[in-house]
């Protein structure tokens, strides 16, 4: 399959306008690379990706309304050929695994974006993965060395449906069931049912517990 490098359409998803502007300037400086759209929330990233069908999405991890990981999952289901480069302020072995499980092809730390992002995009444009050295080591080892407690936490996270993970994030962001129902276009009763179900699955009894869970799984900033 020929390289897309000479005709590359890129969507940027980040909730900070200054960061988006910096990324747009960096990416647009390359011949043949075009930033076709920008998204400020995870939900907007999914909608704009479906509308503009970019070759590559540069996705921040922590996004309002819908996390970058959940947005990545949805984009991969909608457009399997669209490659996703995940950007993050944070690094952890568990995060690497979550990123791969979500379907991203590359993982770049924001602190290294000026030197690594262009390399990552070149790689995924040629349908090759790109991960920083520590992340590559984790992927090479696989899950055999994964901490049992961390593995249990990831398993619980993955037991939630996509909609339930979305509800967890919205609750952790401080939204009420009424606000969630309006935002998602569902009834208040349905929102309340989702809330009850996630609390039961996670064995939690308060929103503060949900907040800690959401922070741990990179849905919201600490």
Alpha-carbon 29 to chain mean position: 25
Instruction: Clarify whether residues 156 and 197 are in a common domain.
Output: yes
221, exposed or middle or buried, with CB in 10 Å at 0-12, 13-18, 19+? Answer: exposed
Instruction: Clarify whether residues 194 and 136 are in a common domain.
Output: no
The SS3 assignment for 39 reads strand
Instruction: Clarify whether residues 173 and 126 are in a common domain.
Output: no
The SS3 assignment for 173 reads coil
R_g (Cα) of the chain, nearest Å: 18
- Is residue 115 in a domain? yes
- Is residue 23 in a domain? yes
The SS3 assignment for 142 reads coil
Nearest to 90 by CA among 114, 73, 65, 107: 107
Range of the domain at 209: 148-216
pLDDT of 98 reads 86
Instruction: Clarify whether residues 23 and 125 are in a common domain.
Output: yes
Nearest to 45 by CA among 21, 18, 79, 22: 79
Domain total in the chain: 2
Q: List, as one string, the DSSP characters of 206-220.
A: SHHHHHHHHHHTTSS
CATH number of domain containing 179: 1.10.10.10
| DSSP code, position 174 | T
- Is residue 1 in a domain? no
Residue 138: CA atoms inside 13 Å, Cβ hemisphere, count? 18
pLDDT in tens, the chain (222 residues): 445 677 899 999 999 999 999 999 999 999 999 999 999 999 999 999 999 999 999 999 999 999 999 999 999 999 999 999 999 887 777 788 888 889 999 999 888 888 899 999 999 999 899 987 655 554 545 544 455 455 455 567 778 888 999 999 999 999 999 999 999 999 999 999 999 999 999 999 999 999 999 998 888 887
Tokens standing for residue 8: 């590359």
Instruction: Clarify whether residues 98 and 171 are in a common domain.
Output: no
């Amino acid at each position: 399959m020929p390289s897309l490098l000479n005709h590359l359409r890129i969507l940027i998803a980040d909730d900070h306008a200054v960061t988006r502007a910096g990324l747009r300037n960096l990416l647009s400086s390359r011949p043949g690379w075009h930033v076709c759209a920008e998204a400020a929330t995870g939900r907007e990233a999914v909608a704009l990706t479906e509308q503009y069908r970019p070759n590559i999405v540069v996705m921040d991890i922590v996004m309002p309304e819908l996390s970058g990981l959940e947005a990545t999952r949805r984009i991969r289901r909608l457009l399997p050929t669209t490659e996703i480069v995940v950007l993050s302020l944070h690094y952890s072995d568990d995060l690497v695994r979550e990123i791969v499980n979500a379907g991203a092809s590359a993982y770049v730390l924001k602190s290294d974006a000026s030197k690594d992002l262009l390399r990552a995009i070149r790689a995924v444009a040629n349908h090759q993965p790109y991960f920083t050295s520590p992340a590559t080591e984790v992927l090479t080892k696989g899950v055999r060395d994964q901490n049992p407690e961390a593995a249990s936490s990831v398993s619980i996270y993955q037991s939630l449906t996509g909609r339930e993970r979305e509800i967890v994030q919205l609750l952790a962001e401080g939204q009420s069931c009424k606000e969630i129902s309006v935002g998602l276009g569902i009834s208040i009763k349905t929102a309340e049912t989702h809330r009850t179900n996630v609390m039961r699955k996670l064995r939690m009894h308060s929103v503060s517990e949900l907040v800690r869970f959401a922070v741990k799984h990179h849905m919201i900033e600490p």
